[in-house]
Structure 1
Amino acid sequence: MSEPRLTYLNLYLQRLGFSATPAPTLETLRQLQLRHTGAFPFENLTTLSGEPVLIDLPSVEQKVLHQGRGGYCYELNSLFLALLQDLGFNVRGISGRVVLGQPEGTWTARTHRLSLVTLDGVRYISDVGFGGMVPTAPLMLDTLDEQLTPHETYRIEQHEDGYTLRANVAGEWRAMYVFDLQRQEGIDYTLGNWYVSTHPDSPFNKRLMVSLTGEGWRRTLSDGSFTIHRIGSESERREVRDVDEVIELLAHEFDLRVPAQPHVRQSLARMLVPA
């Protein structure tokens, strides 16, 4: 591995709380995914400000590891895939269709990126870029059993067109996304990212979405609505109506450094609930 890649790997692992390079084991994967979802926020500030979302690895590394930012699936799962590959995991990128919040049976665009990891002949999906419902542990693919994570319980259903990931939310098994194992190339992710970041119907262009996980909680910011979801107890919600308050909230609750450019403030102002 070249010196720049070693420097990147050491910095990445330090951000995730590792003092040494871990072995490519299932326990390592579990710790990496849990810590990643708690260290790097899911966020769409770039799309809201009208800037292009660059998903080549050097650009993502610079944004997330050096600029105090997070990203969405095409950024976070790209970065995480490269980390797993550098650590020696058998892993490749796959894709899916987000159906969360849609009527059962809805078939949406293929706009979600995740990863398939094989360990000792057992296949798992690993995902660090699914917003406020991101799984905080890898999930075994070839089982119908319910699977516990440090947060919600998930299960994977197999059907003719692939698989559906479901999460148990308030006692209801809600579909998160459908996916398959079709080979993906860079152009596939480029097209999906272009749609998500530029199409007028994309929700990423219409509202602020930020989320982060921690021990026993999830934090989300949707436009001006900030929520702390505590596992096993009532959620705490409050409205935010001031841009400076939003920027302070992003820094203290999501460890997110907001770019100082005026157009970023303007885009945040458009998302806030009117006073």
Structure 2
Amino acid sequence: MSKPADPAYHWNGADLDLDAYLARIGFDGERAPTVRTLHELVRAHTTAIPFENLEIILGRSIPLDLATLQDKLVRRRRGGYCYENVGLFAAALERLGFGVTGLSGRVSMGAGTALRPATHALLRVTTADDDRVWLCDVGFGAGPLVPFELSAGEFTGGDWQFRLESRRGELDSDLWVLHQFGRDGWIDRYSFTLNPQYGIDYAVGNHFVSTSPRSPFTTRPFVQRFHPEAHHVLDGTTLVTEYPDGTGNTRELEPTELPKVLAEVFDIDLTEADAAALANAPWIRD
């Protein structure tokens, strides 16, 4: 049975300005749906485009249409959170001929005993030159720097360590759990199933993440920049730098320091109006 014509089943790759996107992430490799190209694209995107929720803190919505994503992440060289990064990346992969299916993860890291909704976006990807199934997580803000196989076991992205675990979920379903190594040792990042997700599903999750008072992204700035040698995190006015061996350092910032730190550490240049609004937003007083 053929799929309906509803564009929500696809990623609008034909509408992507591929040259501009590849220039944005610094990719100049072969434009072919191969394993090698996939590895190069994941590394380039993950290290070039930061994770950020600043539009929410500035009182704006987060549209997921490709034109808006290209304008924000490519033309204006801003960042985005998982739905934005994944939407742009999926369009590029589709345009290049990869097989692309959306998935949703349920973040457990930092949740304690609370049950969070499955609002993290990642991708299941296949290539033309290999039978393996790959997972790409370009929107978490903390790597991996590589696509990883849908196969239980440990893997590395540079010096960063990860582990994918296979479990049995509710109703004896297949459940996968991604773990990462950091300052607190091995911790589980999120779980996911292989139930396909489409654009309309991401739109629903995006609405919750960008508007709900229960969302971690509506209360304070949360920005990340991931490099092979360091992971930088801005959580409110707390600046954290973590390293692959689990060490790190933390310092508190004054609100007036935020624009400079965003530019120098996270490669995010705000307009003067946005910088002033960020420093005077209600989150500073809460």
TM-score, normalization by structure 1: 0.89
1:15 aligns with 2:15: no
Q: Which runs of 5+ in 2 are unaligned?
A: 1-12, 170-174
Letter in structure 1 aligned against 2:19: N
- 1:83-94 matches, cutoff 5 A: 83-94=92-103
Judging changes above 3 Å, is the alpha-carbon distance between structure 1 residues 67 and 148 closer, same or farther for their aligned structure 2 residues?
same
Distance of aligned partners of 1:6 and 1:111 in 2 relative to their CA distance in 1, 3 Å threshold? closer
2:277 matched to which residue of 1?
266
- Relative to structure 1, is the Cα distance of residues 111 and 233 closer, same or farther in structure 2, using a 3 angstrom cutoff? closer
Matched, 1:195 2:208: yes
Gaps of 5+ in 1: none
Query: Which amino acid in 2 is paired with 1:126?
Result: C
- 2:249 aligned partner: 236
Task: State the shift of 1:230 in Å.
Answer: 2.8
What count of residue pairs does the alignment treat as equivalent?
A: 266
Match of 1:43 in 2: 52
Cα distance in 1, alignment partners of residues 279 and 153 from structure 2: 42
CA RMSD across the alignment: 2.3
Q: How does 1:146-225 map to 2 (within 5 A)?
A: 146-161=154-169, 162-170=175-183, 172-225=185-238
1:64-143 to structure 2, matched below 5 A, reads: 64-103=73-112, 107-119=115-127, 120-131=130-141, 133-142=142-151
Whole-angstrom CA distance in 2 between matches of 1:86 and 1:23: 10
Q: For the structure 1 residues 6 and 93, does the alpha-carbon distance in structure 2 shift closer, same or farther, using more than 3 Å as the test?
A: closer
CA gap of 1:237–1:272, structure 2 versus 1, over 3 A, is farther
Letter in 1 for 2:223: V
Question: Quick one: distance in 1 between partners of 2:24 and 2:100?
Answer: 21
Deviation at 1:54, TM superposition (A): 0.5
CA distance in 2, matches of 1:6, 1:186: 15
- Contact map agreement 1:223 1:273 (CA 8 A) in 2: no
Change (3 A) 1:272 1:241: farther
d(CA) in 1 for partners of 2:157 and 2:265? 22
Deviation at 1:228, TM superposition (A): 2.1
Closer, same or farther in 2 for the Cα pair 1:272/1:237, shift >3 Å? farther
CA deviations 1:130-184 (Å, max 9, x no partner) are 12x3321111112x22111124211111222321111122473211111111122
Contact 2:16 2:91 in 1 (8 A): no
3-state SS of 1:195 partner: helix
Cα deviation, residue 40, structure 1: 0.6
Deviation at 1:6, TM superposition (A): 8.3
Instruction: Give the SS at the match of 2:86.
Output: helix
Matched residues, percent identical?
Answer: 34
* Deviation larger for 53-62 or 148-157: 148-157
- CA-to-aligned-CA distance 1:67-100 (integer Å, 9 cap, x gap): 1210001100110111111111112111111111
Name the counterpart of 2:8: none
Deviation at 1:214, TM superposition (A): 1.8
Seen in structure 2, the aligned counterparts of structure 1 residues 221 and 186 have a Cα distance that, compared at 3 Å, is same
- Normalising by structure 2, what TM-score? 0.85
By how many angstroms is 1:212 displaced?
Answer: 0.8
